[in-house]
Amino acid sequence: MSVFSQVEFDDHEQVVFCSDKATGLKAIIAVHNTNCGPAVGGCRFWNYTSDEEALVDVLRLSKGMTYKNALAGLNFGGGKAVIIGDPKKLKSEAFFRAFGEKLNNMNGTYYSAEDVNITTGDIMQAHQVTDYVVGLEGKSGNPAPFTALGTYLGIKASVKHKFDKEDLSGLKFSIQGLGSVGMYLCQRLHQDGAELVVTDINQSSIDTAVKEFGATAVGLDEIYAADVDVYVPCALGATVNDDTIRQLKAKIVAGCANNQLAEPRHGQVLKDLGILYAPDYAINAGGIINIFFEQDENGYSSDKATAKVGEIYQTLIDIYQRADKEDKPTHEIADIIAQEIIAKGGKDK
């Protein structure tokens, strides 16, 4: 299996393959870039169909973390870990201690956190043997409310830019995915007088949103064509694709899901249709911003984290204004701004 010739390889600083025979741990840790600080990014546990699939995933995700952390103005670089195998069969305390030892071998170039199929409990087990973990119980805790706050502020910035409107009252939103982030977001939008159209694969979540926020429920595939002002993806990636874009009536796409564009060219298609796209890694950075404050020399402070999450509003306005000026899609401008920050080693430098 080649590494350097992978399409997703982007001059990553380090790619480490590690295993532990006793526990069955097999992991790949990718450090993409540390210009702005030590690499930080979650660990994903997935039953990949091949080692190559895991490699592609970790290369892509670690680069994404470099861009997300830089744009959010955090002194973090970008990295990610993937663990290969069936989480239900492999998870144990010894397994995560073994993972923690692998993190120790990285000597602080990479700090790990939760991601798909990894809980704070798992990270706490790794923490028994390593300090190179973040997002800990009793410290920054659950990132979802902070991700929801950042997404809410990003939506407000998008509404201001597109409709020149300060508040959300009377606007209609379609929320796809009522999970940890989506449900908090519904609460905020409802409090602001917005009308909600929702969907989820989980009926009890739909029932909650209908009861608590007066939402209208629609089928999984009906969410795209809903007659709304803002489409809010909060479930899966790649929901902005050739099939769904032509159904959209919304004039804004702004939600917390990662990797919303199926392909980068879909950002151009949205622009051509006059639909404003809030770049996913810009609007959904609230959770990693909250984690960043675990490392504050005076100890974690949710007030400081909340204030920093507030900067997402202006970050999006800056992206939109520059995109208008340079006549480029917003996702391209987000990448350009992130690259400028990475090149100078931090937003404040």
Which positions are annotated as active-site residues? 80
In the complex with ligand NAD, the residue whose CB is nearer, 14 or 180, is 180
| Least Å from the CB of residue 164 to ligand NAD | 28
Closest among 59, 123, 54, 67 to 91, alpha carbons compared: 123
In the complex with ligand NAD, the residue whose CB is nearer, 69 or 98, is 69
| Least Å from the CB of residue 245 to ligand NAD | 17
Half-sphere exposure of 105 (CA within 13 A, CB side): 14
d(CA 43, CA 80) in angstroms, rounded, equals 6
Touching ligand NAD, residues 265-324 (CB under 6 A)? 284, 287
The correct pick among 92, 187, 258, 306 for binding ligand NAD (CB under 6 A) is 258
| Residue environment code for 76-101, b if the CB has 16+ CB neighbours within 10 A, otherwise e | bbbbbbbbbbebeebbeeebbbbbbe
Site string for ligand NAD, 169-208 (x = CB under 6 A): -------xxxxxxx----------------xxxx--x---
In the complex with ligand NAD, the residue whose CB is nearer, 104 or 202, is 202
In the complex with ligand NAD, the residue whose CB is nearer, 72 or 319, is 72
Q: Which residue stretch of 1-9, 139-147, 224-232, 305-313 sits at the interface with ligand NAD (rule: CB under 6 A)? A: 139-147
Q: Which residues pair with 340 in a beta bridge?
A: none
| Least Å from the CB of residue 285 to ligand NAD | 8
The correct pick among 235, 253, 275, 341 for binding ligand NAD (CB under 6 A) is 235
Provide CB contacts within 8 A for 334, sequence distance 6+.
Answer: 67, 71, 279, 281, 282, 319
d(CA 61, CA 164) in angstroms, rounded, equals 34
| Least Å from the CB of residue 244 to ligand NAD | 12
Provide CB contacts within 8 A for 17, sequence distance 6+.
Answer: 27, 28
Q: Which residue stretch of 46-54, 143-151, 291-299, 318-326 sits at the interface with ligand NAD (rule: CB under 6 A)? A: 143-151
The correct pick among 33, 112, 147, 295 for binding ligand NAD (CB under 6 A) is 147
Touching ligand NAD, residues 65-124 (CB under 6 A)? none
d(CA 62, CA 80) in angstroms, rounded, equals 5
Please tell me the total number of residues recorded for the chain in this structure.
349
Nearest-10 Cα torsion for 315, 318, 319, 321: 160
d(CA 295, CA 231) in angstroms, rounded, equals 35
- Binding-site size, ligand NAD (CB under 6 A): 24
Positions touching ligand NAD (CB under 6 A) are 143-144, 147, 176-182, 199-202, 205, 220, 234-236, 256-258, 284, 287
